[in-house]
Amino acid sequence: MKRIYEPASKDDGFRILVDRLWPRGLKKEDAHIQLWLKEVSPSTELRKWFDHQPQKWEIFKKNYLEELATNKGVKELLKIKETQPIITLLYAAHDQQYNHASVLLEFLKREIG
């Protein structure tokens, strides 16, 4: 997991952008991604409600995990994991702790085992 604005590395493996909106100020040709899987990001309503406010984190996390439990994009991520030994989830948020990609990563680790 890393910010999309950080330089790409060969150690990243298969790079997947997991944001619903394209990152500001980044040209698509400079993103170095293999897939943009916006379907796994939080719903627009949940994303707007959270608004990157740490005091809302626990409620956001709970609600996003509920969304992920029925999210079709998760199945696609798990299928990719079968063929790609290394996957890097990319996100644009400034906050490296309170962002949806960290919740998604936690969810995937539980699913994979």
Statement: residue 69 has pLDDT above 80:
yes
What's the average model confidence in pLDDT over 20-43? 95
pLDDT score of 35 more than 90: yes
Largest pairwise CA distance in the chain: 38
Number of helices and strands in the chain (H, E): 4, 4
Residues whose CB falls within 8 Å of the CB of residue 25, separated by 6 or more in sequence, listed in order: none
pLDDT digits (tens, 9 = 90+) for 104-113: 999 999 988 7
